[in-house]
Amino acid sequence: MYYPRSFLKFILLGFLLVSLPLLYALAELTLSLDRLVSQSRDEVLQTAQAARTSRQLFEQTTTLERVVRQYLILEDQALVDDYNRLRQDFQASVRQLSQIPLEGAYREALKRLGQREDALHKLLTAPRRSASLPIELADGYGRLADDAQTMLTASSALTQEAIERLQDTAAEGREKWFWLALATAAIALALAIVFAVLIARPIRQLDQAIRQMGSADFSQAIEVNGPQDLRYLGQRLEWLRVRLAELEQQQNRFLRHVSHELKTPLTAVREGAELLRDEVGGQLTREQRDIVRIVRENTLSLQKLIEDLLKYHQTRAFEPATLGPVMLGDIARRVVREHKLAALARGITIDTRLEPALVVGEADRLRTIVDNLVSNAIKYAPRAGRIDIRAWQEGGQAHIEVSDNGPGVDADERERIFDSFFQGKAPPGGRVKGSGLGLAIAREYANSHGGRIAVHDRSDGQRGACFRLSLPQGAPLDAPTAAGAASVGHPS
């Protein structure tokens, strides 16, 4: 497909080509109107001239007949001279009518009219007069008047025929203009659609390329077809994609190397702290135990930060081959068991209402999502607080919801808490803040499963945070799954 060098020139070319059929139709309509006007003018002039000449011819015939009758009665030679002058006007009218396109019968009648007048003129001017001459002249001029009346009727018929021809021409013109307008509109519409597709294609390719890079997908090359300026823009986007891919690889290598280098000394520090806490090197004083506890807690926090950082940068390596049927209720029960000791330590009660909810996904990643939600709820719930976990399916979606009765999430932070390294308010009780990556990892995993995770208000209207994970529902359940309320926590 040929594209001009400039996108603007391509748009102007498309506009010109779309306008050409319409301009042709307009020109054809103008020419047709001009032809119709010209034909109407000629027909009107011709019929008006025929009608005027026919009336003149009839009046002249009547005058000739009157002069002849006067001559027959008075026998005055001056009347013959008057007749000759009137005869010249009569012949001029006959010549004018003969130049008008008449039908065959009317043209023959006009020819007979001229011949009859010539014959009567010879009888009138003959040197010798017979006794029957008056009768012959009277009868001849009477028939001459009838022929003139016939020509007058012929001119009226000619006018009617002209009107009918104009009507036929107008009807043909309307039909022709209708089909011409229909054809040109169809051609213009087809050209408009073609150019709209050709114009939208490079724009759509640019939009797709931008969306691809916006989602951090640098695996596919960017190619933009179209005018040269848009192709150049596509080449610059391809350069940017390659550059971003290289930077991401460098970043991942750097994180792997740094994390590996940090883990080795951190493991040694943690093991040393564990040995000191177990008093392997000798008995510790209370102050020394506090110092060891602080070192141990911070090494654990640093180790989790490194693990979260590595895990976050592995979230985009989602392998479809690991997908399979997963029961959200089973995931929730497993996570609750893993956090049982942490909940007991703070006297937190965890209530579960887990209805059958089947999805197709990667079990470990879904467990990570629920684990992050439950660990956040334990962190922010007050001592002797309560955490509710629900699972259900509705409207083709499987849902799992984790809510607590802690301070909740401010409205202006409900979207930002899913950003990388964002940390909201400090948890109650002076607990150490997290890495700011848990919810970001949860959102990445939810998006990779085609679902979403969001913060909602608690359905009972009480204070606290409520996180809901929604995923596309899997195949329908064939076997019943245990559901109900299981409770773990500090005994009341």
Read off the pLDDT of residues 398-409 as tens digits, 9 standing for 90 and up: 999 999 988 888
Please name which of 96, 100, 83 lies closest in space to residue 137, comparing C-alpha atoms.
83
Cα 374 to chain centroid distance, Å, stands at: 45
- H-assigned helices in 313-411: 328-338, 340-345, 363-380
Contact present, 236 and 265 (Cβ < 8 Å): no
Residues in Cβ contact with 245 at an 8 Å cutoff, skipping those fewer than 6 apart = 218, 219
Q: Cα(first)–Cα(last) distance of the chain, in Å?
A: 78
- H-assigned helices in 99-227: 104-124, 133-214
Which band of pLDDT confidence, cut at 50, 70 and 90, is reported for residue 463? confident
Which range, 317-331, 417-431, 453-467, is most confident? Answer: 453-467
Q: pLDDT digits over 100-129, tens only?
A: 766 666 677 777 778 878 887 787 777 766
Contact present, 470 and 393 (Cβ < 8 Å): no
Rounded Cα–Cα distance for residues 401 and 328 (Å):
10
Q: What is the average pLDDT across 167-196?
A: 78
Structure tokens at 341: 């000791």
Rounded Cα–Cα distance for residues 453 and 369 (Å):
9
Which band of pLDDT confidence, cut at 50, 70 and 90, is reported for residue 485? very low
Q: What is the average pLDDT across 20-47?
A: 76
- The pair phi, psi for residue 132, each rounded to 5°, is -90, 5
CATH number of 228-311: 1.10.287
- Across the chain, what does the average pLDDT equal? 77
> Does residue 330 surpass a pLDDT of 90?
yes
Q: Position of tokens 């299981």?
A: 486
Structure tokens at 329: 């209720």
pLDDT confidence of residue 333: 93
Q: What is the average pLDDT across 212-223?
A: 77
Half-sphere exposure of 320 (CA within 13 A, CB side): 1
Structure tokens at 292: 């060891």
Structure tokens at 216: 């951090």
Please name which of 369, 372, 335 lies closest in space to residue 352, comparing C-alpha atoms.
335
CATH number of 322-488: 3.30.565.10
Structure tokens at 159: 């006018």
pTM, whole model, 2 decimals?
0.45
Rounded Cα–Cα distance for residues 8 and 331 (Å):
57
